[in-house]
Amino acid sequence: MKTVVERYHGLGNDYLVFDPNKNDLKLNRENAAMLCNRNLGLGSDGILEGPFIGEKHMSLKIWNPDGSIAEKSGNGVRIFAKYLKDAGYVQKKKYHLQTDGGMVEIAYLNEDGSRLRISMGKLSFWSDEIPVAGERREVINEDMVFGNMFYPATCVSVGNPHCVIPMDEISEELVRRLGSVSETARYFPERVNTEIMKVIDNSNIAIETFERGAGYTMANGTGACAAAGVAYKLGLTGNKVIVHMPGGDLQVEIDDDWETYMTGDVFYVAKISLSSEFTEKLRAL
């Protein structure tokens, strides 16, 4: 059986979809990292493995480029939802999908499934739910030290951990430098995603992201939700914002109970058949 993967991207955040129902290769930490390697493999910001079909819901597993598991990915969920429609697994306009970071509700906003609205679950600022080390508290505007400098950090869980730092000016260079230190800082027992955020006005923010297990990415769905939640929590914006990222924009809405909704587009790129030689190399890892 040939090993086949599908490539999609959401705002420049690219993923490979690996369907275990159509492939006999078993993914593990080593071969997932090889597939994601941009020099030795296909290259991607991660792998979406699924669907795993249960009695009530389908689920997926999200692999980071370093072979670790991500609980949730906003762009990944949208991409996977598009694949489910493309592959004929889903005909409904709305359904629920199980991730390691919780259940999400997916709504298709157009016929081809390229524009979607996702209920990403409730934001939590509580330290034990993110997690952040120390006594139980909401981690709001705390001074944290990264690379011998203090930063005012607000931390939040979107089913995965985020550290958001408001700044007057943001850049790729700055988030790369900061994220390489903050990801494994002592505050975060399970590592952390880092967003630096610039508030433009009451309805617009801009972010740069350094993802846990992936590094710098052009867009991050859960990061957009985290930053929008932090901006709202700090009183810097309203509860509906456009989040501007290098790869494009996402709309984020936050309810009174902190239930968060994300709306954005995805794009299908290609179906890729792996060579027999490369498949055997993956199988041997």
Q: Is 177 annotated as a binding residue?
A: no
Q: Is residue 204 annotated as involved in ligand binding? A: no
Task: For tokens 């179906």, name the residue.
Answer: 271
Binding residue per annotation — 160?
yes
Which amino acid makes up residue 213? G
Q: Tell whether residue 193 is among the known ligand binding residues.
A: yes
Amino acid (one-letter) located at 285 = L
> What is 104-161 written as a DSSP string?
EEEEE-STTS-EEEEEEEE-B-BGGGTT-SSSS-B--SEEEEETTEEEEEEEEESSSE
CA distance 40 to 18: 18
CA distance 82 to 60: 13
78 is in an annotated binding site: no
46 marked ligand binding residue: no
Q: Residue 166, preceding bond cis, omega within 30 degrees? A: no
* Residue 17 main-chain phi, psi, to 5 deg: -100, 125
Q: CB–CB of 217/64 below 8 Å?
A: no
CA distance 261 to 79: 16
Buried b (16+ CB within 10 A) or exposed e, 2-14: ebebbbbbbbebb
Secondary structure class of 15 (helix, strand, coil) = strand
Give the Cα separation of 27 and 18 in Å (integer).
9
23 known member of a binding site:
no
Any binding-site annotation on 64?
A: yes
Beta strand 215-217 with 94-99 is unpaired
The count of other CB atoms within 10 Å of the CB of residue 234 is 16
Q: Which residues are CB-contacts of 42 (< 8 A; sequence separation ≥ 6)?
A: 5, 7, 16, 35, 36, 272
Binding-site sequence positions: 13, 64, 74-75, 160, 193, 211-212, 221-222
Binding-site sequence positions for substrate: 13, 64, 74-75, 160, 193, 211-212, 221-222
